[in-house]
Amino acid sequence: SVHNCCSVLRRLSACLPSVMPITRSTVFASYHTVVSKSCCTTEILSCQLPILIMNAAVEKVIQTALGEVGVVESPKGSNRTKYGLWYGVNGQPWCAIWTSWVFHHAGYPLPKIQPPCPSGAAYCPYIEHYAKKVGEWHSKPQPGDLALFHFGKRLAVHIGIVESVHKSGASFYSIEGNT
């Protein structure tokens, strides 16, 4: 999806294994949602890694996300997916669960924002609250960042992974999960 949005959240350092020094970005993802090109409130969350590790980590997260393109819930409209099974809450809206799954399977699990989950969270507002709590809201997305979408709502209602950013910085492509 292409997005022209407003604000960004960065440096979710806890999403990396503790042995890695923190200094750059990674986060967010999934597959299908078509989003309007109109301005929406979007925040981006990302981890900071050393530059060489960062490039490899971001690429691994993005490639893991892209590898899931085309996966849909079954039966249609049920929210039943392999991501929900992994997370332990199958049959629920799954964009945040998908994001958590992608980072986990790329080798960069998100922090346990919503215990007792394996990593990350199943609910976008929990991710939003966590990011605000750790002071990581930013306005310039980078590949691998988590983008939280508000679509005119008070709290985030959707999440995705920034795949690329237009050279102007005014819009970005994301990979998102949920059908």
Phi, psi torsion values for 161, nearest 5 degrees: -110, 130
By C-alpha distance, which of 139, 147, 150, 136 is closest to 10?
Answer: 136
pLDDT at 56 over 80: yes
What secondary structure letter does DSSP report for 22?
P
Question: Quick one: pLDDT band at residue 95, thresholds 50, 70, 90?
Answer: very high
Distances (CA, A) of 169 to 147, 172, 173: 14, 7, 11
pTM score, whole prediction: 0.74
Average pLDDT, the chain: 73
Give me the mean pLDDT over the 43-55 stretch: 53
Peptide bond into 109 cis (omega under 30): no
Q: What is the pLDDT of residue 130?
A: 85
Give me the mean pLDDT over the 134-145 stretch: 80
By C-alpha distance, which of 103, 87, 104, 83 is closest to 179?
Answer: 83
How crowded is residue 79: how many other Cβ atoms within 10 Å of its Cβ?
17
Query: Residue 80 has which token pair?
Result: 């039943």
Higher-confidence residue of 106 and 8: namely 106
pLDDT at 147 over 60: yes
Give strand pairing partners of 175: 161
Question: Quick one: pLDDT band at residue 179, thresholds 50, 70, 90?
Answer: low
